[in-house]
Structure 1
Amino acid sequence: MSQFAKIAAIEYVLPAQTLSNEDLSRDFPEWNVDKIFGKTGINNRQIVGVDECASDLAFQACEKLLNAIDLDRSAIDFIILCTQSPDYFLPATACILQDRLRLSTQCGAFDYNQGCSGFIYGLGLAKGLIETGQAKNVVLVTAETYSKYIHPADKSVRTLFGDAAAATLIQATEGGPYIDRFRYGTDGAGAKNLIVPIGGARHPSALNEAPELYTDDSGNARTDANLYMNGSAIFEFSMTRIPQLFASLFDESFTLEEVDLFAFHQANKFMLDSLRRRLKLPADKFIAEFEHCGNTVSSSIPIALKELMVKGVLTPGKTVVGVGFGVGYSWAGCVIKW
């Protein structure tokens, strides 16, 4: 009998330290609290400590998940970790996570480097493992600590990003498909528009121990060892590619009217409002759950889904369209049946 991949549970964690709009307003007096919230739709971002890594958040999220479900950890046969903040270049952080979680040594584990489209990509990977009979219980972990890459004087990104990790259990079951209609896209020509230039093999940190500090035309300061985002280019990309992706999810066999909720990457208020208007989607079906945590990159969609589960909005039988987009450029969409 055929088996189908289905989301069974989601848990997430945020680090303890809060970066509020009041904190940011003190650092950037030209931006008051109301202006920051008006532009971003964000009140707080949670930030890791100096000695805290994405893998620590990932571990906490997985422990929270495993404690919440009725499944022995020995039954987990695959763990997939989406992160752009690995502990090391090698080994894979997923392997370290497998050991910390005391999972079976017969459990598969790997990392993949993906950003804001990462959750959708991960669902596609989990679906492939389960529906080809390679796994029955897959934990998809998304964990990111962009704060470690952000210069404290760069308000263009410091106001947006928060750190987080989410753990999603995807299980084999009957009666599907429950996760389907995947669409993907990539345009590496946009890589330079959301990037940390120094730190990898192309420009190693060891050869750039004192990178030059520079200030852009908007007064944001950073070095090439910090996160750089060309906001206008990212916006243009999103407003061009995402409507095309979105349209490709629908045809005669699946229509817009069948969708209960739209779960887009929770980038910021301006981006989401613009996309919702462009796509003519009803506000009551369009998820916005980022005020308390900011843009958490690959964790933004599972966090939003979990918040709606807690609120009783996302219940069994609902149909969700998920759309992720960002760094790469990379984008992906799918249909999720609860």
Structure 2
Amino acid sequence: MIESYINHISYYLPEKILTNEDLATEFPEWSVEKIAKKIGINERHIAGEDETSLDMGVKAANQLFEEYGVQADSIDYLLFCTQSPDYFLPTSACIIQDKLGLRKSCGALDFNLGCSGFIYGLSLAKGLVASGIAKKVLLVCGETYSKFLNKSDKGNRTIFGDAASATLISSESIGLSAKIGQFDLGTDGSGAENLIVKAGGMRQPELLNEEIKDDYGNTSSDADLFMNGPEIFNFTSLNVPKLVENNIQKNELDMDDIQHFVFHQANAYMLNHLRKKIKVEKDRFPVRMDFCGNTVSSTIQIALRTLQDENSIKSGEKILLAGFGVGYSWGAVTIELK
């Protein structure tokens, strides 16, 4: 079987920054210290009014090309993960292919996933490489959840930031040289309405209900992102520890064989809870989201690239990656740095 490796990761953050001080000014009942302590975020980047996930994805990909000397015409397949596409059709990946100057013989497709999107994207990329369909796969993730957030939704506005990332996966052991191991993936659509934007699609094209306020004082309408925080917390608490256990077993490893557990950077409170449930020490459970917030499908990549820049990960180490959220959808994979 042809092995596959994560070679390079780059990311893009929009210029506009929303700080905790800005939020505390809008919502006086929230203090800067309270936000930072509970959420673990100091600032988040917000896409410009005319800036889309597609735009940011192009910038992240070009950043990767420039940083690592990757030639655009060497890419065999483009995967684009987003839940905020420019259009219903055509697919954003086709437009990105043109903007990046990729070959016309390059495959390109979108897939719609949120916080588990990177893990699913890696599984698709590994399959493309292993089957010989592609030698080099460019996985781009881009999200602008800020455009789904009601301005009076103080809870979600403290959490989410916009970003895009680009990851190169190939059969070559170069760059980061992270060999992609075995996956565990899961789905439970019964939880769909606990994290949803109801209006805008074919099921409900138009806004049907006025704004409502929940028990925590957060305001939203059917056109805004709705998140049932307690149900999402229960979902992750129930499924993620089993996900970690299963993936370690599938890769024929023990907990002690994993040097780092890099989870989707949801928020500090949830991550700390999950860390305790799987009984992992803080120094093996990096959290890198204070400067960008929860960027949905790009959080793991941003954390990995940050750890790489810090020289906090090194050759020979094994890292378990886990994503989970909207869908419900979850996935994990263990990678090994060569």
Same fold (TM over 0.5): yes
User: How much has 1:211 moved relative to structure 2?
Assistant: 4.7
Normalized against structure 1, the TM-score is what? 0.96
- Which residue matches 1:140? 139
- Which residue matches 1:222? 220
User: Equivalences for 1:297-336 in 2 at 5 Å?
Assistant: 297-336=296-335
CA distance in structure 1 between the aligned counterparts of 2:68 and 2:171, rounded to whole angstroms: 15
User: How much has 1:273 moved relative to structure 2?
Assistant: 0.2
Gap regions ≥5 residues in structure 1: none
2:247 corresponds to which of 224, 246, 249: 249
CA distance in structure 2 between the aligned counterparts of 1:292 and 1:71, rounded to whole angstroms: 27
CA distance in structure 1 between the aligned counterparts of 2:178 and 2:215, rounded to whole angstroms: 50
One-letter code aligned to 1:222: S
Question: Matched residue of 2:60: which SS?
Answer: helix
One-letter code aligned to 1:246: V
- Which residue matches 1:178? 179
Gap regions ≥5 residues in structure 2: none
User: How much has 1:250 moved relative to structure 2?
Assistant: 2.3
Question: Matched residue of 2:270: which SS?
Answer: helix
- Which residue matches 2:85? 86
One-letter code aligned to 2:211: L
User: Equivalences for 1:11-160 in 2 at 5 Å?
Assistant: 11-160=10-159
User: How much has 1:71 moved relative to structure 2?
Assistant: 2.9
CA contact (8 A) 1:3 1:173 kept: no
- Which residue matches 2:201? 200
- Which residue matches 1:231? 229
Aligned length: 334
Deviates more, 1:52-61 or 1:255-264: 255-264
One-letter code aligned to 2:130: E
Segments of 4+ in structure 1 off by > 4 A? 174-177
One-letter code aligned to 1:241: N
CA contact (8 A) 1:44 1:293 kept: yes
CA distance in structure 2 between the aligned counterparts of 1:174 and 1:46, rounded to whole angstroms: 33
CA distance in structure 1 between the aligned counterparts of 2:74 and 2:37, rounded to whole angstroms: 46
C-alpha RMSD of the superposition: 1.5
User: How much has 1:173 moved relative to structure 2?
Assistant: 2.8
Normalized against structure 2, the TM-score is what? 0.96
CA distance in structure 1 between the aligned counterparts of 2:18 and 2:71, rounded to whole angstroms: 37
One-letter code aligned to 1:115: G
User: How much has 1:177 moved relative to structure 2?
Assistant: 9.1
Identity of aligned residues (%): 47
One-letter code aligned to 1:226: D
